[in-house]
Chains A and B, each alone.
Chain A
């Protein structure tokens, strides 16, 4: 065994570590965000222990609905990354397939997969926790889901654009980016639990309105329709921006010859 060879490999990784954003995020950024989310959640729990609505309902509702954002985002981004890893981008984009067709096909295959995820989550939460999401949220479900799907697609189109621009270095975003969105989405705690500066940021996240309305429905039995509509309009605006961003990055990739070299 050679200490020098072991050291050589340790140093080789140390060369890369401070220069690599994704590795720094892995070491410091994501753990910090996890701590923030669960710290805020626990603070909220502590001050709401006496509330009449079951906290399990609030949490399971948040957890299940949040899965729609993460699974939509990850699955959509993975559809693209699969083509990158298989070196198949050149085949599909040298075929008559257009950018719009590619995005639509990605969204459709994503919806098919999500219908399985939704069924599984509904059954498991009902079977193990006696939490019937269909009965609990009823007519509200389509309004919540459309907003969550849109957010997932927006984030994934942004990730795909980043991969087209920065190559494999940006791949980790596919899994990690929702962790950046989550603290400002107020999934497990209300908007008021955030510090003021974070509340101001959260107002630009459509998901924060959706989860606020989800909790309002559970606590008060009513919703503020204009909040859901505002979330939808915000989503539409971001969707247009994310498609434009994807398209721009795609054309940049064509310009720089990256479409055939991405892996």
Chain B
């Protein structure tokens, strides 16, 4: 069942088109990654879905209801967190969470807030003013606020941007648990491609406001035909460089390593050529293309 359906969504700011006729849907219990370089239109799309920015044209249906006409009913079952937001600085952690629990009309909110504060490791900070929290603690607070109403649809715009790897991992596990147990649907943006690969079921790539790719993270990575071959030479490195240059390979030097970019099916040919020339490498690593490679290609418009 589709929780969110976006049809021909366009947003123009004067002559600038931030979002250009995009359509996509999000199923119940699915995590959909919304990726793209800075200025691709991800945040504008999220702002439109939250109702704080008005689209120029297009249709948004959430929980099978048109968004504009059913804003209150829909937003009660939604929530969001973003790296760029703030909560009132002078309020204590629990005061902020109580405020939002009341805004979302959460029943038994005091118990809910206590439970969430424990899960997000905020309980010991509950009496601290928000402006005294570190950026990592703030990010946890925003995520805590995002889960306060058990949302059916959650929009997360770079939610783990300021978290250290350990806490970011805990957060990802919490998100995955929510999706599994409560069938929460999540629209997720991040610049951490490893994170996206780990948690997203599908990914949409935006560039200059347009969707340029839609697929699973693995399938998108496989669209990159090149892989990276890292060769470590104890001796005859110069000769190896010369051979690669003669065969017109794309390569770069990283210390004693030579990193060659080549098509996956031509790795054997490369190794054969080195062998014929009696150039022995002491270590070899073949790096398969990742979502990050796909991202970089898109950002540089080479795909």
Distance of A211 from chain B, by nearest CB (Å) = 37
Instruction: Please report the C-alpha to C-alpha distance between residue A236 and residue B82 in the assembled complex, in whole angstroms.
Output: 41
Q: Closest 4 interchain pairs by CB?
A: A94-B50, A87-B86, A254-B54, A95-B103
Do residues A88 and B86 form an inter-chain contact, with CB atoms below 8 A? yes
Number of interface residues of A (CB under 8 A): 22
Assess whether B88 is in contact with A94, with CB atoms less than 8 Å apart. no
- The segment from B72-80, B165-173, B211-219 found at the interface with A is B72-80
| Known contacts A257-B44, A260-B52, A96 near B85 by CB under 8 Å | no
B51-A94 in contact (CB<8A): yes
Whether a CB of chain B sits under 8 angstroms from the CB of A173 is no
Whether, in the assembled complex, B158 has its beta carbon less than 8 Å from a beta carbon of chain A, the answer is no
Contact with A along B178-219 (1 / 0, CB 8 A): 000000000000000000000000000000000000000000
CB of B76 within 8 A of CB of A254, answer no
Q: Is A174 an interface residue (CB 8 A)?
A: no
Residue from the list B52, B73, B86, B89 in contact with A94, Cβ < 8 A: B52
How far is it, in angstroms, between the C-alpha of A90 and the C-alpha of B52 when the chains are bound?
A: 7
> Inside 8 A of A56's CB, which chain B residues have their CB?
none
Interface residues of B in 250-264 (CB under 8 A from A): none
- Which residue of A89, A255, A259, A260 has the most chain B CB atoms within 10 A of its CB atom? A260
A251 to B54, CA, bound (A): 8
B53 close to A (CB within 8 Å) = yes
Contact sample, A vs B, 29 pairs, CB 8 Å cutoff: A83-B88, A86-B87, A86-B88, A87-B84, A87-B85, A87-B86, A88-B86, A88-B87, A88-B88, A89-B52, A90-B82, A91-B85, A91-B145, A94-B52, A94-B75, A94-B80, A95-B103, A96-B72, A96-B73, A96-B76, A97-B103, A251-B54, A254-B51, A255-B53, A256-B13, A257-B11, A257-B53, A259-B53, A260-B52
Bits for B60-85, please: 1 = Cβ < 8 Å to A, else 0: 00000000000111011010101011
A90 and B50 contact, Cβ closer than 8 Å, known pairs A96-B103, A98-B72, A256-B13: yes
The CA of A142 and the CA of B104, in the complex, are separated in Å by 36
C-alpha spacing A94/B104, complex, angstroms: 10
Contact at B100–A90, with CB atoms within 8 Å?
no
Chain B positions within 8 Å of A94 at CB level = 50-52, 75, 78, 80
Q: Which residues of A contact B11 (CB under 8 A)?
A: 257
- Is the beta-carbon distance between B47 and A257 smaller than 8 angstroms? yes
Q: Which of A82, A96, A98, A259 contacts B52 (CB 8 A)?
A: A259
Are A95 and B89 neighbours in the complex by a CB distance under 8 Å?
no
* B105: interface (CB < 8 Å): yes
Residues of A within 8 A of B51 (CB): 93-94, 254
The distance in angstroms between the C-alpha atoms of A87 and B85, with both chains bound, is 6
CA distance A260 to B105 in the complex (A): 23
Q: A82-B88, A88-B88 are in contact. Are A95 and B52 (CB under 8 A)?
A: no
